Amino acid sequence: MVKIGEIAKRLGVSTDTLRYYEKQGILASSGRSESGYRLYTEQDIAQLAFVIRAKDVGFTLNEIKELLAIKVDKQSHSCEQVKQFTSEKISQVERKITEMNAILNSLKLLHKSCCGGDEPAIHCSILSALEVQNDAS
């Protein structure tokens, strides 16, 4: 059971952010000390790591809440529903990865088509590289 400052420091977020996440139902502390300090477990830290990773790749807090709801709501839902829901989320993430790869390809094409010399970049075909890739979406 660690205090808020510790977990904040370990995962590189502010204590304000952690209190905000609690208010938003993203991550509550597992308990409080005698004096009312928030106390977090290692599991809480693991969950926060998940939240941060999801946020980093562009999920909103609401989407993250949905992802976490799979865990929270398991008492009130059937396995069938859980399976259905995770299926949807999986295709959503797969779509994002596909788009990400399209962007990566744009950049790689661009990188390849540039000679890398020290002359001004006017002559290199970067512009067309970007557009060709865009057309082929």
Residue type at 48 in one-letter notation: L
* CB-CB contact of 28 with 18 (8 Å): no
DSSP string of 21-42, one letter each residue: HHHTTS---SEE-TT--EEE-H
- Smallest distance, DNA to C-beta of residue 75, A: 25
Per-position x/- string for 72-101, each x denoting binding to Zn ion as judged by CB under 5 A, each - no binding: -------x--x-------------------
47 near DNA, rule: CB under 7 A: no
Binding part of the chain for DNA, among 35-43, 67-75, 88-96, 118-126 by CB under 7 A, reads 35-43
Q: Which residue in 10, 31, 60, 73 binds DNA (CB under 7 A)?
A: 60
121 near Zn ion, rule: CB under 5 A: yes
Compute CA distances 114 → 44, 59, 95, 106, 118, whole Å.
46, 33, 29, 13, 11
**Residue 24 or 107 having the CB closest to its own copies:** 107
Q: Which residue in 1, 11, 15, 92 binds DNA (CB under 7 A)?
A: 15
61 near DNA, rule: CB under 7 A: yes
* CB-CB contact of 24 with 65 (8 Å): yes
* CB-CB contact of 136 with 101 (8 Å): no
Compute CA distances 69 → 11, 65, 129, whole Å.
22, 6, 42
**Residue 33 or 105 having the CB closest to its own copies:** 105
User: If contact means CB under 5 to 8 A according to the sort of partner, which of DNA, Zn ion, its own copies, none does residue 57 touch?
Assistant: its own copies
